């Protein structure tokens, strides 16, 4: 193993570690200032009027890729990409709207127009997909939200 490959293999995990450490410190500071924090896995407990205003962004630190209709995440222990989710055709379109500075509600309206369906039904699909991806730590709200 050459020096260059060693550096590549240790720098990325360190960056991920320090990124996580920084987010934990920021979260602790926010808690100490009286602003309660919430885990991504608990987003489904947030009131819907708050969720509608969330802007979904992808987690750039997570080693993943989307191949055809499959979400593949790199497993820490093996280093192998493993399928963790599949998307239908409409979800593939919804994914294209994430990371575009649009709220979930705005994305729902666009999807409703594009597929000629009810806005509320489209929003619920967008919300459901966002929550699924958040549970994999692949997506999260671009900004913190107060309940």
The answer on 80 and 17 residing in a single domain is: no
The answer on 55 and 116 residing in a single domain is: yes
Query: Which strand (E) or helix (H) includes residue 3?
Result: helix 3-32
CATH number at residue 91: 1.10.10.1150
Angstrom distance (rounded) from CA 55 to CA 41: 17
pLDDT band at 62 (very low <50, low <70, confident <90, very high): confident
Average model confidence (pLDDT) for the chain? 79
pTM of the model: 0.71
| Chain segment 72-126, per-residue pLDDT in tens | 999 888 999 999 999 999 999 999 999 889 999 999 999 999 999 999 999 999 9
Number of structural domains in the chain: 2
Least confident of 12-26, 49-63, 95-109, 111-125: 12-26
The answer on 129 and 78 residing in a single domain is: yes
Instruction: Quickly list DSSP for 29-66.
Output: HHHHTT-----GGGGGGS-HHHHTT--EEE-TTS-EEE
Angstrom distance (rounded) from CA 13 to CA 19: 10
- The residue range of the domain holding 13 is 1-37
With vertex at residue 85, the alpha carbon angle to CA 48 and CA 106, rounded to the nearest 5 degrees, is 35
147 in a structural domain: no
The answer to whether the beta carbons of residues 51 and 45 sit under 8 Å apart is no
């Amino acid at each position: 193993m050459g020096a260059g490959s060693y550096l590549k293999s240790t720098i990325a995990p360190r960056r991920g570690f320090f990124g996580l450490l920084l987010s934990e410190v920021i979260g602790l500071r926010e808690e100490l200032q009286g602003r309660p924090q919430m885990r991504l896995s608990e987003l489904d407990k947030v009131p819907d009027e708050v969720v509608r205003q969330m802007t979904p962004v992808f987690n750039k630190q997570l080693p993943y890729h989307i191949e055809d209709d499959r979400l593949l995440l790199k497993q820490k222990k093996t280093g192998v990409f493993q399928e963790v989710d599949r998307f239908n055709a409409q979800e593939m379109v919804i994914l294209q709207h994430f990371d575009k500075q649009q709220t979930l509600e705005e994305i729902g309206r666009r999807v409703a127009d594009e597929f000629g369906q009810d806005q509320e039904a489209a929003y619920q699909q967008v919300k459901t997909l966002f929550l699924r991806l958040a549970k994999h730590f692949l997506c999260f709200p671009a900004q913190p939200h107060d309940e």
